[in-house]
Amino acid sequence: MTRPLPAVIAAAQNAAHRMADRHTPFVMNDWYVAAFADDIKEQLLARTLLGRRLVFYRTRAGQVVALEDRCPHRSMPLSAGTLTQDTIVCGYHGLRFNAEGDCIEVPSQANCPKNVGIRSYRTHERGAVVWIWMGEAELADLSKLPPQDWMESAEWERSQGYLSLQGSYVRLHENLLDLTHLSFLHAKSFGTPDYAKAAFESVIGDGQFALLRNVVPTTLPPVWAIPTGLTGQGQAARIVRSEFRSLGLHEVSVTFYDCHLPENDRPQFRIRTAHMPTPETATSTHYFIVHGRDFALDDPETTRFMHAQLFVAFQEDVDGLALQEQALASTPAEDLYEFSVAADAPAVAMRRYVLARQRQEAPD
């Protein structure tokens, strides 16, 4: 076996230090998905996001509340308490907190100590998901949330799902910007052998990274061949744009059409997938997915079929990334190196950007 020269390893390790990885502290000043909207009900929901324990609930008026999940009296998780009239009563000694996180009752005495409470976080419910801002409250700005009109439009049919990834969110964003893995990791689901070799174009901007790939002609896998009717060998065009839009949102847009029909006389079938990774810990990630299509609307059987097929593929990513994390964790730091290839350029640029964002927030 060829063992790289120490100088090659040192160069690779040097390059890795300029990119975000699982050791990079979280970027706090951004919007991340906290939950699907219908996961937050009039009951307490505990969830760890960006390394912090939070408790969520919905008020009787329908407002989402996100609070620190730790009683400031003796640190009992408030999620182990009870929700009563839009307030949480701690399950240990009964201190009560309102939706703003203020302590409003101490059962064992007449008054609450002044200025005692827990942190509350700003949330924003939009379409199927609830976004959260966990950084500096005064920087929370809805204009920093990328638009996703299709996620609310009646012209798109949608389904959603959640996967728990035992791996870093940075690696998930990288996976989504690297579509050469489709021919291999997804060989049995939605990858085709021609995918890895198809020409691609990279778009590397300030905070925006995309990979464009036109696979023409190609044969579609069943997940799309069946709903579009493009079932012939070499019949289809598969035009893909995979884009990192923010730390909490990666979007894949694909157009399919019959590449043997004239340009102005061929139906186009579009799908979109919002991949929304939210770090749970350094090596685990909440992976929220919303998938949409602009054809076969009001066809629940097609929705069920595509959802089931797609989630087989997304599970392959989750399983692969968990294995990758295990391999990383069990390699001594001095032996750890990874080299990049040309197709990694957008992912490398994205990881450098994530590191720069973190350093900007918390300079050494």
Binding footprint of ligand FES on the chain (CB under 6 A): 71, 73-74, 76, 90, 92-95
**Sheet order of strands, 249-258 included:** 157-165, 284-293, 269-281, 249-258, 236-246, 209-218, 200-204
Residue 97 vs 195, nearer CB to ligand FES: 97
Q: Are 355 and 19 in contact (CB under 8 A)?
A: yes
- Closest residue to bound Fe ion by CB: 317
Q: Choose between 38 and 100: whose C-beta lies nearer to ligand FES.
A: 100
| In the complex, minimum distance from the CB of residue 93 to ligand FES, in angstroms, rounded to a whole number | 3
By CB under 5 A, tell whether 317 contacts Fe ion.
yes
CB of 185 to Fe ion, least distance (A): 6
Nearer residue to ligand FES within complex by CB, 96 or 158: 96
Report the C-alpha gap between 290 and 160 in whole angstroms: 4
Quick one: 317 or 325, whose CB is closer to Fe ion?
A: 317
Q: Which residues neighbour 282 within 8 Å (Cβ) at sequence distance 6 or greater? A: 22, 23, 51, 168
The b-or-e profile of 322-343 (16+ CB within 10 A means b, else e) is: beebeebeeeeeeeebeeeeeb
Query: Smallest distance, Å, CB 98 to ligand FES?
Result: 15
74 binds, among Fe ion, ligand FES, none (CB under 5 to 8 A by kind): ligand FES
CB of 316 to Fe ion, least distance (A): 7
Q: How far is the CB of 310 from Fe ion (least distance, A)?
A: 10
CA Rg, the chain, in Å?
23
> Binding of Fe ion at residue 178 (CB under 5 A)?
no
Q: If contact means CB under 5 to 8 A according to the sort of partner, which of ligand FES, Fe ion, none does residue 92 touch?
A: ligand FES
DSSP 221-235: -HHHHHHH---STT-
Pick between residue 57 and residue 190 the one whose CB is nearest to Fe ion: 190
- Does 174 help bind Fe ion (rule: CB under 5 A)? no
Question: Which partner from the list Fe ion, ligand FES, none does 317 bind, CB cut-off 5 to 8 Å by kind?
Answer: Fe ion
| Cα→Cα distances 230→140, 186, 217, 236, 313, Å | 45, 20, 11, 6, 20
Q: How far is the CB of 44 from ligand FES (least distance, A)?
A: 14
Residue 350's contacts (CB-CB under 8 Å, 6 or more residues apart) are: 173, 174, 177, 209, 244
- What tokens does 37 get? 């909207």
Binding footprint of Fe ion on the chain (CB under 5 A): 317
